[in-house]
Structure 1
Amino acid sequence: MTVAEEQTLFHQTGAGLPVPFAVAGTGLHLPPTVVTNEQLTRTLDTSDAWITSRTGIRERRRLEPHLATSDMCVAAAGPALDSAGVAPAGLDAVVVATYTGDQPLPSTALIVKDALGAHSALALDVTQAACASGIQAMLIAAHLLQNPSLTTVLLLAADCASRVTDPTDRTTGVFFGDAAAAVVLTRTDTPSAGLLSYDVGSQLSYGVQIPAGGSRLPTTADTAAAGDHYLRMDGRAVWNAATTRLPESIANAARRAGLPVDRVRHFFLHQANLNILTETMTVLGVPRERAPVTVDRLGNTGSAGLFTALHSTLAEGALLPGDTYVLAGIGAGFQWGSLCLRHA
């Protein structure tokens, strides 16, 4: 690492929070349209064998053209609220993590809050960390619950990457799927439940970017014609960053929590690529079976990915009271982070 690179690197660890909280319910929405690898080979210069070997993905979902990210959020929120026994009117905050919001303004979180009828809730959007936005949203929600006036937070992680990927680009076209996941967080009387520790970091990179549509390169007919509003991704840069930063961050969070990393029961990781997930667990020296996989059937669902893994484990009854677990992800920027928690 050069001196300039060292100066741009942000890294922070933190101790746990004093007020315990619990995951009271989760929900998941998957659009009904399934796109298989074989279907992609009809329009892209690729093969099922190539996609599977490089990504581990067999199929992914696509949102219907007349719907938006907020619609997926609302659909995921319903079962999460039901399982938690919480009415929308009882929500103190609605936090939405997405880089594919409905539109630049107004707030997607506000659109979701209104649709749910959560009229007294604070609406917050966590946007530009892309696939790491879910980690940042969870950390924000955990801190919100330290405030005595807030007891219940709805966190929604959703991305509709099909709207920002070039359908002719074989690099991005095979990776991404659309999905939304919901988590209801509530205060609890269970001692030591909630956030035990965290580790976050960042290092500026344009390896993953959407160049146009902001103040530097506003939308014009030329930017649209050039495809500058589509997601661009340097696969090698992503691999190098993810396989270095994720295991490093997870190990830091576990150490900060006073846990040997092999004593962590579950690892809910960003579902970017099966090979990245496998490499991360190998570097940590932890059995890969402790990291549930959804990327094979859902693709890279952005900020929703790690929560799809959390939801599937809870639905199976495999996350037990007292279990420690890690949430970890990395996104464009690059930004990354790991949270170490104990289940109530």
Structure 2
Amino acid sequence: MNGPEEAAGNCALDVRLTLPITVAGSGIHLPETVVTNRQLTETLDTTDEWIVRRTGIRERRRLAPDQAVSDMCVAAGRPALLDAGLTAADLDAVIVASYTGDQPLPSTALIVKEQLGAERALPLDVTQAACANGLQAILLAAHLLEVSARAVLVIAADCASRVTDPLERTTGVFFGDAAGAVVLTRGAAAGAGLLSWDFGSKLSYDVEIPAGGSRLPTSVNTVADRTHYLRMDGRAVWETATRALPHSIRTAVDRAGLTVADIDHFFLHQANLNILQAAMAELGVPMERAPVTLDRLGNTGSAGVFTALHQARTEHRVGAGDTYLLSAIGAGFQWGTLCFRHS
């Protein structure tokens, strides 16, 4: 099958560039408010049966009106640090991956760093790959660890409820709010760490927030036209995701000197159950090797992969020597896969 990189810029990287880093801890934060499909039918022209059949989602979380993304980040970051046996003072960098940051300025990562008390940490924001932000942030953290850092906190958090039109069915049923965090540290057992990666992109406006930037600044008209809300062409997302994810996974696995059959765990973008099933079927891998959290959390953007990884870690399903990968696609389109061996 021809991959989308034929019309895009993929990162062609050496198979043997293994980075000895460890996922030392993880944590998540889920807002308290649960919104079921049945509740959505009260305001949207849809049904519970339609939502489940088209998405696999049964409920999702909503962030409280008096909270922001940084609050979710801090709430996910603290248990991740505890799990890693570190404190905020040990961190060399705090990377926040989110397209729904607190505000355009100042940096959401800086806000999180200050609230955690990570005085030495470099704050970095990864913002415009949407659901792929978290994977780009992990790759950035891995390279920081390779050069100078010893501990980096990566937090993926999205609050799509603040940027989806409450009157629009296509986006209104998909998204949930959540944050996931991992602590990455330098060093790993022999042969373990980040084995390989693959990233690609192809410019598309099929998923976009048109207004609020320099091209279409905020005005009375943009607010009236509702162009500050997320717009999404579901068919384009399906076609791109079901091509790009399997191809990216195969590429990353091949660069690691492995086969798809060698991978023990597949932590995939929690966007839509049908997309997950199609991707796994294309790979010839049974679904039980790909944990699902979207049924009760919805599409939580870049946090989705982190929620699946955290669930597997807390259930002690990832053992020493296990291989696993993280794979996601976001607006742009941008996609990527990271292949690890657990230390």
Bucket of the pairwise TM-score, normalised by the shorter protein: over 0.9
Corresponding residue number in structure 1 for 2:217: 218
Corresponding residue number in structure 1 for 2:44: 44
State the alpha-carbon separation in 1 of the partners of residues 16 and 122 from structure 2: 24
Per the normalisation by structure 1, the TM-score is 0.97
Give the deviation of 1:194 after TM superposition.
1.4
Equivalences for residues 324-343 of structure 1 within 5 A: 324-343=323-342
Equivalences for residues 157-176 of structure 1 within 5 A: 157-176=156-175
Corresponding residue number in structure 2 for 1:242: 241
Is contact 2:22-2:187 (8 Å) kept? yes
Q: Secondary structure at the match of 2:142?
A: helix
Corresponding residue number in structure 2 for 1:94: 94
Residue by residue over 1:214-272, the C-alpha shift from the partner in whole angstroms, topping out at 9 and shown as x without a partner, is 00000001101110000000000000000000001001111111111011000000000
Equivalences for residues 260-279 of structure 1 within 5 A: 260-279=259-278
Unaligned runs of 5+ in 2: none
Is contact 2:18-2:195 (8 Å) kept? no
Alignment pair present for 1:133 and 2:94 = no
Equivalences for residues 14-25 of structure 1 within 5 A: 14=13, 15-25=15-25
State the alpha-carbon separation in 1 of the partners of residues 188 and 161 from structure 2: 42
Corresponding residue number in structure 2 for 1:311: 310
Give the deviation of 1:6 after TM superposition.
7.7
Aligned residue pairs: how many? 339
State the alpha-carbon separation in 1 of the partners of residues 5 and 341 from structure 2: 33
- Is the alpha carbon distance of 1:13 and 1:323 closer, same or farther for their aligned partners in structure 2, counting shifts above 3 Å? farther
Give the deviation of 1:89 after TM superposition.
0.5
CA RMSD of aligned residues (A): 1.1
Equivalences for residues 58-207 of structure 1 within 5 A: 58-147=58-147, 149-207=148-206
Give the deviation of 1:16 after TM superposition.
4.9
Alignment pair present for 1:290 and 2:300 = no
State the alpha-carbon separation in 2 of the partners of residues 45 and 253 from structure 1: 41
Give the deviation of 1:17 after TM superposition.
3.8
Is contact 1:13-1:253 (8 Å) kept? no
Q: Which amino acid aligns with 1:28?
A: I
Per the normalisation by structure 2, the TM-score is 0.97
Give the deviation of 1:302 after TM superposition.
0.2
Give the deviation of 1:8 after TM superposition.
5.2
State the alpha-carbon separation in 1 of the partners of residues 85 and 108 from structure 2: 24
Is contact 1:268-1:309 (8 Å) kept? yes
- Is the alpha carbon distance of 1:12 and 1:40 closer, same or farther for their aligned partners in structure 2, counting shifts above 3 Å? same
Residue by residue over 1:306-342, the C-alpha shift from the partner in whole angstroms, topping out at 9 and shown as x without a partner, is 0100000000000001111010000000000011111
State the alpha-carbon separation in 1 of the partners of residues 5 and 119 from structure 2: 45
- Is the alpha carbon distance of 1:163 and 1:16 closer, same or farther for their aligned partners in structure 2, counting shifts above 3 Å? farther
Give the deviation of 1:192 after TM superposition.
2.0
Q: Secondary structure at the match of 1:302?
A: coil
Q: Secondary structure at the match of 2:179?
A: strand
State the alpha-carbon separation in 1 of the partners of residues 5 and 179 from structure 2: 35
- Is the alpha carbon distance of 1:188 and 1:68 closer, same or farther for their aligned partners in structure 2, counting shifts above 3 Å? same
Give the deviation of 1:32 after TM superposition.
0.3
- Is the alpha carbon distance of 1:6 and 1:303 closer, same or farther for their aligned partners in structure 2, counting shifts above 3 Å? closer
Is contact 1:59-1:298 (8 Å) kept? yes
Residue by residue over 1:58-112, the C-alpha shift from the partner in whole angstroms, topping out at 9 and shown as x without a partner, is 0000000000000000000111101111110110000110000000001000000
Is contact 1:16-1:195 (8 Å) kept? no
Give the deviation of 1:18 after TM superposition.
4.6
State the alpha-carbon separation in 1 of the partners of residues 49 and 187 from structure 2: 47
Is contact 1:62-1:162 (8 Å) kept? yes
Is contact 1:177-1:301 (8 Å) kept? yes
Q: Which amino acid aligns with 2:261?
A: D
- Is the alpha carbon distance of 1:8 and 1:165 closer, same or farther for their aligned partners in structure 2, counting shifts above 3 Å? same
Is contact 1:57-1:295 (8 Å) kept? yes
Q: Which amino acid aligns with 1:200?
A: F
Q: Deviating runs (4+, > 6 A) in structure 1?
A: none
State the alpha-carbon separation in 2 of the partners of residues 206 and 275 from structure 1: 22
Q: Which amino acid aligns with 1:12?
A: C
